[in-house]
Amino acid sequence: MVYIAFAYLSLVGLGLIDNSRGPLYPQILEYFQITKAEGALIFSSSSLSAFLTALPVRSWVKKLGIIRATKISLFFDVISCWGFSFCGEGELGFITLLAFSVLFGVGVGLKTISMNLIINSAYKGAQKRKIFSGLHSMYGASSLLAPLLVGWLLTKDLLWTEVFRLISIPSLLVLIGFCKLGHLESVMPKTGEKTDVPLSLLVSVSVMLSTYVASEIIVSTRLVLYLKEVYFYESAEASFYLSLFFVGLLLGRVLFSIKELAISTLSILRFSIILNLILSITGLFYHPIAFSLLGLSMSIFFPCVMSLISEQFTILSDYLVAKAMQAVGFSLVTIHYLFGLVSTYFSLEAAMSLVFILSLICASILFLERRLVLPAPRD
């Protein structure tokens, strides 16, 4: 249980920092007097370094272990936030911000893989879907808290640089509290060793997961900007809509971690993506509150994909989780920059339509990839 607690609390720290960047994004653009395309480098630089960090996953899992890798990532969280807090104005300050964004991304690359591997390795029971839901409900909780906390800190006349410094405290406390936590073995094929998983299936699972995550990240990091510039909402109102999104993420994952549904994992995933399509198109053409409601429909998707991998590929599940998270890292590198380009040269409305497009790609795999159907009953 101590390993599961470590993974849960580590994700809380990451969620607070990661989801503070969205609410602070308009202030950062104004502070450095940069365009949205330039501002997108803040997200894409960290996503790129996260992706590159995830590439040699077999190597660093073997050398560091998943527990030590998570501790290192927590340390990078703290250092990055303090680095953000000392960024001055002008070009040099922006370059400094990007440099620490890269460092933050390295931590993200380590942690996003290691935390899922911790759960997969530490828990061998029959309710892994619920445990994964519990893990990602921690991210939902911190995602909900982050914009509220940022909004409250800004009312105290704190600068965005000072907010980052305070947001790093939870990660520091987790690092100190679990500094003596020991090694946990993770099963990972050796570098160059062949696996029994067809490349086409690996690609399908990776694209399915990465398109979903990219759509969630767009909403969580750009909804405030979208509401302020397209609908002219005040910061408080826009942050409230973002908070509703995170409430949905948290509520869905908490309920799913408590209640075991007598429905196949694949059926749950298909139901989730259909709701995503309906709500995203509603948000684009009817009312933006539908984007907030996406939190509830998206909440169950990620933990269910992790559970699906664990159910269908028992021995190689650690390897597949790692490979899928590599694809997620690559998608985030491209989607942040793509969103910045589309919003700068077309419109924010066009950029937000990426949520629907990505969900459509994800849905096509869920309904057309026959190999996702489990050959045996689930746990």
**Token duo for residue 90:** 């002008």
CA–CA dist 22, 28 (Å, integer): 10
Residue 377 pLDDT: 38
How do residues 232-256 score in pLDDT, each as one tens digit?
888 778 878 988 898 888 888 888 7
Instruction: Tell me: pLDDT of 36 over 80.
Output: no
pTM over cut 0.75: no
- Mean pLDDT over 296-308 rounds to 86
Residue 83 pLDDT: 92
Residue 374 pLDDT: 47
Q: What is the mean pLDDT of the chain?
A: 84
| Range from 108-117, 126-135, 198-207, 212-221 that averages highest in pLDDT | 212-221
3-class SS of residue 242: helix
- Mean pLDDT over 205-228 rounds to 90
Task: Label residue 368 exposed, middle or buried (CB < 10 Å: 0-12, 13-18, 19+).
Answer: exposed
The residue to which tokens 């803040």 are assigned: 42
CA–CA dist 181, 201 (Å, integer): 36
Task: State the chain's maximal CA–CA distance in angstroms.
Answer: 59
How do residues 333-377 score in pLDDT, each as one tens digit?
788 778 888 988 888 999 999 999 999 999 999 898 776 654 443
Residue 197 pLDDT: 64
- Mean pLDDT over 22-34 rounds to 86
Q: What is the DSSP string of 13-47?
A: HHHHHHTTHHHHHHHHHHHHT--HHHHHHHHHHHH
Local confidence band at 101 (pLDDT 50, 70, 90 cut-offs): very high
Instruction: Tell me: pLDDT of 124 over 90.
Output: no
Residue 371 pLDDT: 65
Residue 226 pLDDT: 92
CA–CA dist 197, 190 (Å, integer): 15
Residue 227 pLDDT: 93
How crowded is residue 367: how many other Cβ atoms within 10 Å of its Cβ? Answer: 14
Residue 180 pLDDT: 85
Instruction: Tell me: pLDDT of 189 over 70.
Output: no
How do residues 1-19 score in pLDDT, each as one tens digit?
788 889 899 999 998 998 8
How do residues 60-100 score in pLDDT, each as one tens digit?
878 888 889 999 999 999 999 999 888 888 888 899 999 99
Q: Alpha helices, DSSP H only, in the chain? A: 2-18, 21-32, 36-54, 57-64, 66-85, 90-122, 128-155, 160-167, 169-177, 199-230, 235-258, 265-285, 289-298, 301-312, 317-345, 348-352, 354-368
Local confidence band at 136 (pLDDT 50, 70, 90 cut-offs): confident
How do residues 303-343 score in pLDDT, each as one tens digit?
888 877 776 666 566 677 777 777 887 887 788 778 888 98
Domain 2-368 classification at class level: mainly alpha
Instruction: Tell me: pLDDT of 127 over 80.
Output: no
Residue 378 pLDDT: 40
Instruction: Tell me: pLDDT of 192 over 70.
Output: no
- Torsion, Cα 165 222 73 97, to 10 degrees, reads -50
Length of the chain: 379
How do residues 255-294 score in pLDDT, each as one tens digit?
877 777 778 888 899 999 999 999 999 999 999 999 999 9
Residue 186 pLDDT: 62
**Token duo for residue 322:** 């790692």
